[in-house]
């Protein structure tokens, strides 16, 4: 639309007329030239005629005689016919006559052309006690929340605040007022109010778009005869957005857009400008009437904003029908009938294509301002005794027939619109007052991504106590209906006013642009709002989604102060992590916290190492970074070096470490890893170990279940084993043992806690490993007999070259335990092939152990199928065993260690040693 400001209203030009083509302009210019020529000729004729008159009036002429002037008349007529064509003279005479007639009929004051709206009914008042109670209570809830959250000032408090604008000095703001008129007869009342404002306006533009009253509106503006007031018209009806498009052209500081049903009080410009100049409200749109959108009902759906006798339908403020007045500034979801803001903010309305141009510009403005400018909408309070402070001094105008929102079809459109903005991230007053807490917000940018994420989404949806929604890009990328079909949901879910599947309509912003900015901006702005509303523990998408989408999701999750975590899953891994839905909601935000560091101890078994590396490469890492370190002693052979150097590890950094002086197995293992943080976990593997493809998933599932849940207290847990033993290792006879058989009275495949650490594939916790370093340093002796710790009946007392002996001692003294898997036939996440090496105590490396007692099958299928009820049991249901495979409570384990009394610090039998977990140094004794 062409935009025109400050037109000369006396010329009678309209917006439509000014948009004529250049040919019409040339015709007008040609016509003007002919008129000038005509006037010049007439002036010349008059001069000639006057000359003749002067001659005959001279004293030398006898006036008593009857002079004959016929010859002069004949000459004049001949010159006139020759110089000026007859049709030009006729046209000039007609134009002159019409001007005379117009001037003779024009009124002399605005009052003679002004029209006034006749309102023949009193202000509507409700006598419905139930409704009055519901509305009043909800309004009070809103005010209480806003007062506690960010404060709510009265009018006097607002006017006492420091403002940028000096309303009485030289720093007065320039304000453009835009009056939009169609049928109402309120223009004179509005102009009279504006001309009487305590703070003068800079310009006032009266708009008439497709109005049947255009001529009368034009006459009114002309008769006010004020150069600041302009009339702009068009035969095309630009409806509700046209005035905002025109506002883009203002050169003023502030803009005040008013509907034709608003008669502002004479202090309104002063009040609005002052508040708009304060630091608190400078990034806001201000008004006199607003609406608070619906609240969620008990069935989790949202009602129409026009639903009768419903508290959840929201509020209309102020609402004289229910005696609700605004005596403190109140934030609303959108403003109605008038908007006051900085001219800069108007641009925000047009970032996204509106849901419809037929209605809803009020909501779209507030939505866009919040989404892209973090700006809010506020209704200013009034002084009930001073009508000059009212922005709506004749509220009855809102009830006459021209009000569009009383029609059923318009209400439906507006309902659809506000639900659309709420489901794409608009933080309404309901959302702010009642922040939601869900487990996962999935995001899919394409239908293929919906299909990939579907198993995990459906698992969350079907898990009792879990809540998850999916957000799709919409537009040309992934329409809601297509996503619903991919999920095998009815397409009606896209129309229901309840959270389940949300369509961002990204195409409305991105269009056909090749720039990355529109997609990033659209996804980020919407997801930021949705994350703020729903506070998901996790935001999940596939890892190969569009790079711009990943940028937007990363920024959106980082913007949330309530710790939402972005998870990028490979499509092939989604089915491998369905157990995610069984993780407690309090643990889910920690999904990305742990870093599991693989540490391999190797020297001269290249073939064994190659087998281990292949099993590690074939495992499922669900797209996470896993560093790997090779720890080689000084006598490492050439084949091992070549294998290590050529090995490609795509899951994270590869680190090589080689000792200069031979350290032996005790140093090789204990010095292979040291934690860099409390979230750095060390997986220690000798090169004759082999792992299951599911080993990493077992570790992650266990850490989230028993270590990273703030509501689970299991400080005794110090490591997680991949291996299930078949022997009671610490007893001299080393009897065989079957965990499945042992725990069949609980559940044959329950995981369990054991006081024995595992050396054949285990993850060690950072805090306890630091503690172990200090303990080993204080207790290590070349002669094992000098070690003061002697565990009754344990064959570990005689172990001399074992790092594991020191770890057993520490765990026994302090009551620490390891989590073990327990599946049929000791099927495990790691196995020990018992191959000759430095760790096998045998003459000339001849194995004396029975491999069948140590080699166990590797798990090749989803381990959830074996767990009790398909998931990890609660921490309180995990059975615990002492060093000798006897059932003992965790407290009993501590008691046994305290009774031994051989720890580094001397404590009594009701205490155990507590350490500083940052350094691992023993600190004091603590009762258990």
In a domain? residue 106: no
| pLDDT surpassing 90 at residue 429 | yes
What residues make up the domain containing 318? Answer: 129-423
Residue 37 lies in a domain: no
- pLDDT score of 96: 43
**CA 378 to CA 286: how far, in whole Å?**
5
According to the model, what pLDDT value does residue 15 have? 28
The model's confidence at residue 847, banded by pLDDT at 50, 70 and 90, is very low
pLDDT digits (tens, 9 = 90+) for 107-119: 468 888 998 888 8
Q: Indicate the pLDDT class of residue 515, thresholds 50, 70 and 90.
A: low
Contact by Cβ (8 Å): 331, 429: yes
Q: Say yes or no to pLDDT of 4 above 70.
A: no
Mean pLDDT of 164-182: 90
Distance CA 449, CA 453 (A): 6
Q: Which domain-ending residue is among 550, 583, 616?
A: 583
Rounded Cα–Cα distance for residues 518 and 269 (Å):
37
Regarding whether 721 and 605 lie in a shared domain, the answer is: yes
Give the Cα separation of 587 and 353 in Å (integer).
Answer: 40
Q: 14-28, 616-630, 654-668: which has the minimum mean pLDDT? A: 14-28
Same domain, residue pair 507 and 541: yes
Question: Among residues 583, 606, 634, which one ends one of the domains?
Answer: 583
- Regarding whether 406 and 308 lie in a shared domain, the answer is yes
Residue 355 has pLDDT above 70, yes or no: yes
pLDDT band at 58 (very low <50, low <70, confident <90, very high): very low
Where does the pLDDT of residue 56 fall: very low under 50, low under 70, confident under 90, or very high at 90 and above?
A: very low
For residue 115, being part of any structural domain is answered with: no
Domain membership of residue 63 (yes or no) is: no
pLDDT attached to residue 18: 27
Residue-level pLDDT at 657: 96
Please indicate, yes or no, if residue 351 is contained in any of the structural domains: yes
* Whole-number pLDDT of residue 3: 35
Taking 90 as the threshold, does the pLDDT of residue 2 lie above it? Answer: no
User: In the structure encoding, which two tokens stand for residue 875, read together?
Assistant: 């921490």
Q: Which of 552, 583, 614 is the last residue of a domain?
A: 583
Mean pLDDT of 772-798: 85
* pLDDT digits 0-9 by tens, 84-107: 455 444 444 454 444 444 444 554
Residue 428 is predicted with a pLDDT of 97
Lowest mean pLDDT among 65-74, 283-292, 381-390, 645-654: 65-74
Q: Is there a single domain that holds both residue 577 and residue 601?
A: no
How many residues belong to the chain? 928
Q: What is the CATH number of the domain that holds 504?
A: 3.40.50.2000
Whether residue 26 has pLDDT greater than 80: no
> In this structure, are 698 and 605 located in the same domain?
yes
Mean local confidence (pLDDT), 723-751: 94
- Domain at 916, CATH number: 3.90.550.10
Residues 613 and 571 in one domain: no
Mean pLDDT value of segment 187-203: 96
Q: Which helix (H) or strand (E) holds 317?
A: strand 315-317
In-domain check, residue 5: no
Give residue 186's pLDDT: 94
Q: Judge if 633 and 579 occupy the same domain.
A: no
Instruction: Kindly report, residue by residue over 887-925, the tens digit of the pLDDT.
Output: 999 999 999 999 999 999 999 999 999 999 999 999 999
Q: Looking at the structure, tell me whether residues 413 and 443 fall in a common domain.
A: no
Output the pLDDT for position 895: 96
Are 388 and 444 in a shared domain?
no
pLDDT confidence band for 303 (50 / 70 / 90)? very high
Whether pLDDT at 175 is above 90: yes
Nearest residue to 794 (alpha-carbon basis) of 723, 720, 885? 885
Are residue 419 and residue 454 in the same domain, yes or no? no
Instruction: Name the burial class of residue 171, with classes exposed (0-12), middle (13-18) and buried (19+) by CB atoms within 10 angstroms of its CB.
Output: exposed
Would you place residue 846 in the very low, low, confident or very high pLDDT band (cuts 50, 70, 90)? very low
Per-residue pLDDT, averaged over 418-434, amounts to 96
Q: Please enumerate, as own/partner, the contacts of 356-361 that have beta carbons within 8 Å and a separation of 24 or more.
A: 356/413, 356/417, 357/239, 357/240, 357/241, 358/239, 358/413, 359/240, 359/404, 359/405, 359/410, 359/413, 359/414, 359/417, 360/240, 360/413, 360/414, 360/417, 361/240, 361/241, 361/244
3-state secondary structure 486-524: HCCCCHHHHCCCCCCEEECCCHHHHCCCCCCHHHHHHHH
- Give 171's pLDDT tier (boundaries 50, 70, 90): confident
Classify residue 700 by its DSSP letter.
Answer: H
**Residue 779 — pLDDT band, cuts 50, 70, 90?**
confident
Could you tell me the pTM of the whole model? 0.83
Among 319, 353, 727, which Cα is nearest to 506's?
A: 353
> pLDDT class for 35, splitting at 50, 70, 90?
low
User: Is residue 53 one of the residues assigned to a domain?
Assistant: no
Please tell me whether residues 398 and 468 are part of one structural domain: no
Mean pLDDT of 571-582: 96
Split at pLDDT 50, 70, 90, the class of 198 is very high
Instruction: Give the alpha-carbon dihedral of 779, 780, 783, 786, to 10 degrees.
Output: 0
Non-local CB neighbours of 163 within 8 Å, separated by 6+ positions: 273, 274, 275, 276, 277, 278
Structural domains in the chain (count): 3
Q: Does the residue 120 lie in any domain?
A: no
Q: Are residues 229 and 372 in the same domain?
A: yes
Q: Which of 16-25, 195-204, 540-549, 898-907 has the lowest mean pLDDT?
A: 16-25
Summarize the confidence of residues 70-85 as an average pLDDT: 47
Average pLDDT for the chain: 87
pLDDT of 136 over the 60 cut: yes
* Amino acid 40: pLDDT: 61
Which whole number is the average pLDDT over 743-763? 96
The pLDDT assigned to 410 comes to 84
């Amino acid at each position: 639309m062409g935009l025109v400001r400050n037109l000369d209203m006396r010329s009678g030009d309209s917006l439509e007329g000014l948009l004529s083509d250049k040919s019409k302009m040339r015709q007008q210019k040609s016509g003007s030239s002919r008129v000038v020529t005509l006037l010049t000729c007439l002036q010349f004729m008059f001069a000639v005629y006057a000359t003749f008159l002067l001659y005959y009036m001279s004293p030398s002429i006898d006036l008593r005689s009857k002079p004959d002037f016929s010859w002069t008349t004949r000459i004049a007529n001949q010159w006139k016919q020759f110089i000026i064509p007859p049709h030009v003279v006729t046209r000039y005479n007609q134009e002159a006559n019409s001007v005379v007639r117009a001037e003779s009929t024009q009124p002399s004051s605005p009052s003679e052309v002004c029209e006034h709206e006749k309102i023949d009914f009193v202000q509507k008042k409700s006598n419905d006690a139930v409704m009055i109670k519901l509305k009043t209570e909800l309004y009070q809830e809103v005010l209480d929340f806003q007062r506690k959250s960010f404060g709510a000032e009265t009018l006097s408090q607002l006017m006492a605040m420091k403002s940028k604008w000096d309303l009485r000095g030289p720093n007065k703001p320039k304000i453009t007022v835009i009056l939009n008129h169609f049928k109402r007869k309120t223009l004179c009342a509005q102009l009279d109010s504006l001309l009487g404002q305590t703070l003068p306006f800079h310009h006032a533009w009266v708009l008439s778009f497709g109005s049947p009253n255009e001529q009368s509106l034009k006459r009114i503006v002309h008769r006010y005869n004020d150069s600041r007031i302009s009339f702009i018209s068009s035969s095309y009806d630009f409806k509700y957005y046209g005035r905002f498009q025109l506002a883009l052209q203002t050169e003023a500081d502030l803009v005040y857009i008013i509907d034709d049903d608003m008669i502002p009080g004479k202090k309104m410009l002063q009040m609005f400008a002052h508040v708009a100049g304060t630091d608190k409200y400078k990034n806001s749109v201000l008004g006199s009437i607003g609406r608070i959108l619906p609240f969620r009902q008990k069935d989790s759906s949202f009602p129409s904003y026009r639903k009768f006798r419903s508290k959840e339908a929201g509020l209309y403020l102020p609402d004289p029908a229910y005696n609700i007045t605004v005596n403190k500034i109140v934030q609303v979801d959108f403003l109605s009938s008038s908007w006051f803001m900085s001219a800069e903010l108007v641009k925000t309305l047009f970032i996204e294509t509106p849901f419809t141009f037929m209605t809803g510009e009020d909501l779209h403005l507030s939505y866009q301002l919040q989404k892209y400018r973090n700006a809010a909408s506020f209704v200013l309070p009034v002084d009930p005794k001073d009508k000059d402070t009212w922005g709506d001094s004749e509220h009855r105008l809102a009830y006459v027939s021209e009000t569009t929102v009383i029609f059923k079809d318009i209400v439906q459109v507006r309902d659809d619109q506000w639900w659309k903005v709420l489901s794409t991230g608009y933080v309404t007053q309901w959302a702010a007052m009642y922040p939601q807490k869900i487990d996962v917000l999935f995001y899919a940018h394409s239908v293929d991504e919906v299909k990939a994420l579907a198993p995990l989404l459906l698992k969350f949806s079907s898990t009792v106590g879990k809540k998850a929604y999916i957000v799709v890009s919409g537009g040309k990328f992934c329409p809601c209906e297509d996503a619903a079909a991919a999920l095998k949901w009815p397409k009606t879910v896209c129309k229901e006013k309840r959270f389940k599947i949300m369509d961002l309509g990204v195409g409305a912003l991105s269009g056909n642009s090749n720039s990355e900015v529109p997609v990033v901006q659209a996804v980020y702005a919407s997801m930021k709002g949705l994350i703020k509303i729903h506070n998901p523990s996790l935001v999940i998408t596939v890892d190969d989604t569009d790079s711009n989408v990943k940028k937007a999701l990363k920024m959106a999750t980082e913007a949330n102060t309530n710790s939402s975590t972005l998870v990028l899953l490979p499509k092939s891994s989604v089915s491998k992590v369905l157990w995610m839905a069984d993780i407690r909601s309090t643990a889910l935000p920690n999904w990305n916290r742990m870093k599991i560091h693989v540490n391999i101890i190797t020297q001269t078994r290249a073939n064994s190492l190659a087998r281990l590396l292949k099993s590690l490469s074939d495992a499922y890492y669900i797209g996470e970074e896993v560093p790997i370190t090779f720890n080689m002693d000084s006598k490492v052979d050439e084949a091992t070096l070549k294998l290590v150097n050529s090995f490609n590890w795509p899951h994270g950094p590869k680190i090589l470490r080689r000792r200069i002086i031979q350290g032996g197995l005790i140093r090789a293992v204990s010095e292979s890893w040291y934690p860099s943080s409390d979230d750095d976990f060390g997986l220690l593997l000798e090169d004759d170990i082999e792992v299951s493809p599911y080993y990493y998933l077992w570790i992650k599932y266990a850490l989230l279940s028993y270590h990273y849940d703030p509501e689970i207290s299991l400080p005794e847990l110090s490591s997680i084993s991949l291996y299930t033993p078949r022997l009671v290792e610490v007893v001299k006879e080393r009897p065989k043992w079957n965990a499945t058989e042992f725990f069949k009275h609980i559940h044959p495949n329950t995981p369990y806690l054991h006081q024995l650490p595992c050396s054949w594939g285990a993850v060690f916790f950072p805090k306890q490993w630091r503690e172990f370093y200090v303990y080993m340093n204080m207790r290590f002796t070349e002669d094992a007999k000098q070690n003061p710790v002697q565990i009754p009946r344990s064959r570990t007392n005689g172990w001399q070259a074992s790092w594991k002996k020191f770890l057993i001692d520490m765990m026994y003294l302090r009551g620490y335990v390891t989590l073990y898997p327990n599946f049929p036939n000791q099927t495990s996440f790691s196995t020990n092939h018992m191959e000759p090496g430095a760790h096998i105590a045998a003459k000339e490396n001849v194995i004396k152990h029975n491999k069948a007692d140590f080699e166990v099958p590797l798990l090749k299928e989803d381990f959830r199928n074996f767990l009790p009820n398909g998931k990890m049991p609660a921490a309180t249901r995990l059975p615990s065993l002492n060093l000798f495979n006897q059932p003992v409570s965790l407290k009993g384990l501590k008691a046994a260690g305290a009774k031994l009394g051989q720890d580094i610090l001397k404590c009594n039998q009701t205490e155990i040693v507590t350490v500083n977990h940052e350094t691992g140094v023993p600190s004091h004794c603590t009762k258990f």
